[in-house]
Amino acid sequence: MAPVSTISTSPPPIDEITANAIRQALSAARMGRLAEGCLTAEKALATGGERIALNALIGMLRMDLGDHGAAIRHLEIAYAGRPHDIRIATNLATALTASGDLEKAFKIASRGLAFADPTAQLARIRGYAAQMTGRYAEAVETYEHVVRAAPDDWESLNNLGNARLFARDLTGAVADLERAAAMAPDAAPALINLARVYRDLGRTEEAEKLLRKMADDFPDDVQPLIDLHDLLKVQAREDQILEVVDRALERKPDDVELLLARARHFGAVHEMDKAEFDFRRALALDPANSDGFVGLTTVYEHSRAGKLQELAEEAEKQGVERNALNLVRAFAHRRARRFEEGLAAITLVDENFEGPRREHVRGQLLEGLGDYEGAFAAFERMNWAHADEPSQPLERAASLRALLRDQLAQTTAQWFGSWKAGPVESERRAPVFLVGFPRSGTTLLDTLLMGHPDTVVMEEHPVVNRLKAELGGFGAIASLDESAIRGAQRRYFEIAAEYADLGSGSVLIDKLPLLLNEAAFIHRIFPNAMFLLALRHPADVLTSCFVANFNLNDAMCNFLRLDTAAEFYDLTFRTWENAHDVLPLKVHTVVYEQMVQDPPTVLRPVVEALGLEWHEGMLDHTKTAAERGLIRTASYAQVTQPIYTRSVGRWERYRKQLEPVLPVLAPWIEKFGYTI
């Protein structure tokens, strides 16, 4: 705020020395010679000039020079002599605000003086100081006064809207901010604040529309894109985030936070090479950045786990702050099975730092030490932290379960009989769909199958989901005619080609475990498709899902609580079994416990079912895993090691914690031939 350029000359009368000094000082100041003006006033003060007027003048000039400390000293003297002088109070409050002393500024800009100021300048200062010090009711009252006095002041109206927002008067905030935006349609601050209050009110479509318009209307302003990224992130719309972040980086290419956001996006969609590249770009700009090293830890876990120790040493060398450093160390120790050292490192990490990651590795370390009760408690804390995320994961999980229940109810023999067209064979070999509940051994099986020279394994890409959305969802299945189905088959392979090299003659294996819930849709498009169904003890599956630190898409959100995890398991297999009963699905089942005990015996019938010749190299799964690079699932640590059986019966360690949900799992445990 600009200082008031005049001072009070109320009694006592100004002597000639003071009057001449004021005239000369102001004349010099108007010509830009502020230092000369200060010197003139200071000489007059030293020779007995009027103390209040000259200190007020010197304070104003010192403020113009940017010497706020000196300005405050002089203005405080003047204010002490004339505490009811609005101009002196305004200049002092302005200097205090500029110096960061908002508490004192608020005191000087008293309600009585501020509301008596005909210019409303002191009231503006009071409103700002009140808002910044958490006095939201006073801020609202003061800005209301300013807006009444100056109804065309859109900036104060914008500030009033913000003050109402902090006071939780969201309806009033929207009204004020919409008025401010209408008055100043080219003012980005008012528009960005309006978008934020729309977001806070849950009016996300309006917020998104406004932010996208701002991104186009203000081509040099990065903030609308940053806010749009945050909005999409909260809504878990990862498929739209990259375009927004890239536009933002065009405007601010060396912004570390934007580079980190880009890297996190690639991590969330399992493009780890790109994630590593962007984390490294951020670290090149800020070598000790904690978020960069924590992000690289996740990347290395998925793609270069043997390099975690080197990463910890690099973090120490760069002087990374202790929380991030000890978190990276803990991951390196866990990978090397140094459980006690890892636990010692994780205890040095503050409780408010990287909650889910911290508790996940703590749980793994405690499990490694045989403290299963402590481990489960850590995994619970991990999931509680996730459940509190702004994207409302528990609500998203419930919505998905409701969708599945509706889809299950529709999948009947009568519905199947109503399909407009009969089976339509694909012009090229139909894909094989590798499905199973998460953590059922699908990653181990797909790694073994990757070892065959005549397979192409496409791991966890949304090909079916994209195609389903393009065709109009589950409800469109019955009405598809032969032409539409053939078009859908071609479109499937077009989308798949974006993710995999579809070599001629190779068997495409589309591995996405929860396509269990899409069997009806898949059968409509590819009636001859084979399903490879991976099965594992339901209690082991549920345990493994609960303790995994998944990226929270709508499905994975179900694993934040044991009861919803069990409900989701039951609903998924009811959906699968019902589709299997209604539709003539071709299914080959692979049992995890048998696969880890005797891989060749289990794998040979799979290869035969696929119509392929046996290939001995398939059994060297550790070589295949090393050559494949990125492993996109939570099983990355396991499949890069020799096949082992220690995960079989893991749930027994947590039987006590699982007891409440075992009745839900019991029918499936019995059906699949397991025991409790």
Q: Given this model, what pLDDT does residue 2 score?
A: 43
Res. 7: pLDDT tops 50: no
Lowest mean pLDDT segment, chosen from 2-16, 141-155, 281-295: 2-16
C-alpha 630/C-alpha 636 separation (Å) is 8
**Whole-number Å distance between alpha carbons of 184 and 181:** 5
Q: Is residue 510 within a helix (H) or strand (E), and if so which, with residue range?
A: strand 507-511
Element (H, E) at 590: strand 586-591
Give the confidence band of 207 by pLDDT, cuts at 50, 70, 90: very high
pLDDT band at 100 (very low <50, low <70, confident <90, very high): very high
Omega before residue 12 within 30° of 0, cis: yes
User: Does this chain's domain 16-248 share its CATH topology with 290-387?
Assistant: yes
CATH superfamily of 16-248: Tetratricopeptide repeat domain (1.25.40.10)
Q: How far apart are CA 384 and CA 381, in angstroms?
A: 5
Q: With 50 as the cut, is the pLDDT of residue 6 above it?
A: no
Taking only the tens place, the pLDDT of each residue in 551-570 is 889 999 999 999 999 999 99
Q: If we measure between CA atoms, which residue out of 219, 165, 220, 167 comes closest to residue 190? A: 165
pLDDT per position as a tens digit, 360-404:
999 999 999 999 999 999 999 999 999 998 889 999 999 999 999
Whether residue 534 contacts residue 513, with contact meaning beta carbons closer than 8 Å, is answered with yes
pLDDT tier at 49, thresholds 50, 70, 90: confident
Give mean pLDDT, residues 435-446.
94
Tokens of 95: 């200097």
- Given a cut of 60, is residue 138 above it in pLDDT? yes
Q: Among the listed ranges 157-171, 321-335, 404-418, which one has the minimum average pLDDT value?
A: 157-171
Radius of gyration of the chain (CA): 34
User: Is residue 239 helix, strand or coil?
Assistant: helix
Angle between helices 154-166 and 136-149 (to 10 degrees): 160
Q: Which two tokens stand for residue 456?
A: 């192409």
Looking at the DSSP bridge assignments, the partners of residue 586 are: 530
pLDDT of residue 620: 78
Paired strand residues for 432: 509, 530
Dihedrals phi, psi of 24, to nearest 5 degrees:
-65, -40
At 128, is the pLDDT very low, low, confident or very high (cuts 50, 70, 90)? very high
Question: What is the predicted pLDDT for the residue at 625?
Answer: 52
DSSP one-letter string for 96-110: HHHHT-HHHHHHHS-
Pick from 552, 596, 546, 586: nearest CA to 566: 546
**What pLDDT score was predicted for residue 327?**
97
Q: Are 416 and 583 in contact (CB under 8 A)?
A: yes
- Assign domain 290-387 one CATH number from 1.10.287, 1.10.3720, 1.25.40, 1.10.10: 1.25.40
The pLDDT-based confidence of 331 (bands split at 50, 70, 90) is very high
Banded pLDDT at 643 (limits 50, 70, 90)? very low
Rounded CA gap, 385 and 584, in Å? 43
Hunting for tokens 């075992």 — which residue is that? 662
Query: Would you say residue 636 has pLDDT above 50?
Result: no
Lowest mean pLDDT of 53-67, 277-291, 453-467, name the range.
Answer: 53-67
Q: Is the pLDDT of residue 639 over 50?
A: no
Per-residue model confidence as pLDDT tens digits over 57-96: 888 999 889 999 999 999 999 999 999 999 999 999 999 9
Phi first, then psi, for residue 654 (nearest 5°) are: -120, 25
Asked if residue 446 lies in contact with residue 618, where contact means CB atoms within 8 angstroms, the answer is no
Q: What angle do CA 343, 345, 347 make, to 5 degrees?
A: 70
- What are the sequence ranges of the domains in the chain? 16-248, 290-387, 393-641
Give CA–CA dist 146/118, Å, rounded. Answer: 10
User: pLDDT by residue (tens digit) across 494-553?
Assistant: 999 999 988 767 899 999 999 999 999 999 999 999 999 999 999 999 999 999 999 889
Q: Which residues pair with 535 in a beta bridge?
A: 591
Closest among 491, 513, 538 to 667, alpha carbons compared: 538
Q: Which residues are CB-contacts of 230 (< 8 A; sequence separation ≥ 6)?
A: none
Which pLDDT score, from 0 to 100, does residue 408 have? 96
Please state which CATH class domain 393-641 belongs to: alpha beta
Q: What is the C-alpha separation between 526 and 421, in angstroms, rounded?
A: 13
Share the mean pLDDT of the chain. Answer: 91
| pLDDT greater than 80 at residue 447 | yes
What pLDDT shows up at residue 632? 47
For 577, residues 6+ apart whose C-beta sits below 8 A from its C-beta are none
CA distance 671 to 9: 95
d(CA 381, CA 375): 10
For 625, the token pair is 């895993």
Q: What is the pLDDT of residues 241-274, one digit of tens each?
A: 999 999 999 999 999 999 999 999 999 888 899 9
Distance CA 506, CA 446 (A): 15
Mean pLDDT value of segment 96-114: 95
